[in-house]
């Protein structure tokens, strides 16, 4: 097969633990031909989707790239969109271009329309039975009321990743007003507030779901001392652990819906017994799980991709 990976610039990837590179290594071992592009390598020439891409080969010292050439997306057996958020207007436009490519015969994973429709924060509202108490609004008065009710909350933007701009607020925090004014841009930006879950101290569990089925292990991202966020990008430590019965119930229920939507590779975030996010853009955690368990996530993913 010829596989095209749409990535962030290679020099921005953390090569030791990047899930995209883990998948690419597995694909190489299976004899697949790899190509890479960046977000703005996608374009339209008239009504035809096109992409500027380079061949990619692993070497003993890193990797080698071929010359950039113009391709039709249908020249590849699969396009894998692995660009990290923020999910800004440029990301939105990319999903439109990928949707056009899919209409012209390309196989795109994850389904670009589903990526657009499944905001990684708001999507938990589709499974409210699994979510902690939450509020989505730009209204600071409503947020302060929610804080008075819950006493301890987390507020976060709808388009970020890696714990960026996530704040914990308690009812007696002296910085309530300035934090809310900042994160909502004085009531002009919609955010999500969720009840704070003290189980975060045992880890923010990343559950990888591939083709509707969860891996048997989650990666519990445990916050460093004095930190609220468990994200690895915020200094958390990743510890692989077997799924609990509750984890499995959440993952299988959500996974069945995700599969119907064409979301092949998804990362669920679960704290304690609660679903807090559904990551559909570029989930991570494969490498750490592979290093700490007998599970090989990249192999499971390639099996699923080949079935598709």
pLDDT digits (tens, 9 = 90+) for 167-202: 999 999 999 999 999 999 999 999 999 999 999 999
Rounded to 10°, the helix 140-150/176-183 angle is: 130
Regions of the chain where pLDDT drops below 70: 162-163, 226-234
Name, in order, each residue with C-beta under 8 angstroms of 146's C-beta and a sequence gap of 6 or more. 135, 153, 193
What pLDDT digit, counting tens, does each position of 99-112 carry?
999 999 999 999 99
| Within a domain: 123 | no
Which of 77, 110, 143 is the last residue in one of the domains? 110
| Within a domain: 74 | yes
- CB contact at 8 A, 191 and 155: yes
| Within a domain: 61 | yes
- Tell me the C-alpha distance between 166 and 84, whole Å: 17
Q: Are residues 171 and 185 in the same domain?
A: yes
pLDDT at 15: 84
pLDDT at 8: 96
Q: Are residues 160 and 234 in the same domain?
A: no
CATH number at residue 284: 3.30.470.20
What are the catalytic residues?
A: 121, 156, 206, 221, 229, 269, 277, 279
| Within a domain: 243 | yes
Domain count, the chain: 3
pLDDT at 129: 97
Q: Are residues 16 and 97 in the same domain?
A: yes
Residue 148: domain span: 133-196
CATH number at residue 39: 3.40.50.20
- Tell me the C-alpha distance between 20 and 28, whole Å: 12
Q: Are residues 251 and 289 in the same domain?
A: yes
Which of 110, 145, 169 is the last residue in one of the domains? 110
Instruction: Record the pTM.
Output: 0.93
Q: Are residues 208 and 265 in the same domain?
A: yes
| CA angle, 289 then 239 then 109, to 5° | 40
Which of 143, 164, 196 is the last residue in one of the domains? 196
pLDDT at 231: 63
Q: Are residues 206 and 184 in the same domain?
A: no
Q: Are residues 231 and 296 in the same domain?
A: yes
CATH number at residue 163: 3.30.1490.20
pLDDT at 226: 64
Q: Are residues 169 and 221 in the same domain?
A: no
Q: Are residues 179 and 253 in the same domain?
A: no
Q: Are residues 300 and 282 in the same domain?
A: yes
């Amino acid at each position: 097969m010829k596989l095209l990976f749409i990535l962030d610039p290679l020099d921005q990837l953390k090569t030791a633990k990047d899930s995209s590179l883990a998948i690419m290594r597995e694909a190489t071992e299976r004899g697949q031909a790899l190509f890479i592009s960046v977000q703005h390598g996608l374009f339209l020439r008239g009504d035809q989707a096109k992409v500027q891409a380079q061949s990619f080969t692993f070497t003993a010292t890193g990797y080698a790239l071929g010359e950039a050439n113009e391709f039709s997306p249908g020249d590849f057996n699969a396009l894998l969109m692995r660009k990290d958020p923020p999910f800004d207007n440029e990301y939105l436009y990319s999903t439109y271009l990928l949707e056009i490519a899919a209409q012209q015969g390309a196989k795109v994973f994850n389904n670009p329309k589903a990526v657009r429709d499944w905001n990684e924060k708001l999507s938990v509202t589709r499974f409210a039975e699994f979510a902690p108490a939450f509020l989505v609004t730009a209204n600071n008065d409503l947020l302060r009321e929610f804080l008075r009710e819950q006493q301890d909350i987390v507020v976060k933007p709808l388009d970020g990743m890696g714990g960026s701009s996530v704040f914990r607020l308690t009812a007696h925090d002296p910085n309530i007003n300035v934090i809310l004014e900042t994160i909502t841009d004085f009531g002009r930006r919609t955010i999500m507030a969720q009840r704070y879950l003290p189980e975060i101290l045992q880890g923010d569990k990343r559950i990888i779901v591939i083709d509707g089925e969860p891996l048997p292990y989650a990666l519990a991202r445990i916050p460093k001392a004095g930190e609220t966020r468990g994200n690895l990008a915020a200094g958390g430590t990743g510890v692989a652990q077997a799924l609990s019965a509750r984890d499995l119930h959440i993952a299988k229920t959500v996974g069945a819906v995700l599969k119907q939507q064409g979301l092949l590779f998804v990362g669920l975030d679960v704290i304690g017994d609660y679903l807090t996010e559904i990551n559909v853009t570029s989930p991570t955690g494969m490498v750490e799980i592979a290093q700490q368990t007998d599970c090989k996530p990249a192999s499971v993913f390639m099996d699923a991709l080949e079935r598709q």
